[in-house]
Amino acid sequence: MTTLQTIQEPNYPLRDRSLSVKPKNDNFLYLKDLCDTMRDTMRFLDGIGIAAPQIGESKRIFLIETSLFPDIAIPSDIFINPKILKRSFKQTSGEEGCLSVKGMYGTVKRAKTVTLEAYDINGEKFKLKASDLLARVFQHETDHLEGILYIDKALPSSLHIYIKSEEYDK
């Protein structure tokens, strides 16, 4: 796979509930290739995270750019079958964008802290507690696997278009 572009809303399979992966039984090389393509695409487009449906695969996988969180020990940049086990009652508002809704940004209220469980590429389960931006990314990406986009949750009056000059070339 060499996809370096993302599926744009409204297109399949962004609005579908993605299918579970069997981390130890599904084809390892296929999963690895899929994750490599997701990582390349996320980096090419300067994303913080990317979910499999964004490159056309309706699978419960997302990746994050761990280098943006140098102070946090994140065991894997690949999250397979991720599940949010706990969300804090306390919420924070923050601006979000999405590789599948190009050029648009908006303010979304999310839980300040979440506990996430997922499998890595080797099928090992891990758990991680995250706050603020990382917690926001986890919630944004797990929403993708339910067919939910941040624009569904953003304060409607906060949604705005912002296109950087270099994006005109893409």
Contacts with Zn ion by CB under 5 A lie at: 98
Contacts of 78 (CB under 8 A, 6+ apart): 35, 61, 63, 120, 121
Closer to Zn ion by Cβ: residue 125 or 160: 160
Contact of 104 with 96, CB cutoff 8 Å: no
Nearest-approach distance from CB 123 to Zn ion, in angstroms? 25
Residue 9 is a catalytic residue: no
Nearest-approach distance from CB 141 to Zn ion, in angstroms? 7
The residue number whose beta carbon is nearest to Zn ion equals 98
Closer to Zn ion by Cβ: residue 26 or 45: 45
Q: Within 13 Å and on the Cβ side, how many CA atoms surround 145? A: 23
Rounded (5°) CA angle 43-49-55: 75
Closer to Zn ion by Cβ: residue 23 or 53: 53
Kindly name the residue from 65, 95, 96, 141 that is annotated as catalytic: 141
- Which one-letter DSSP state was computed for residue 15? T
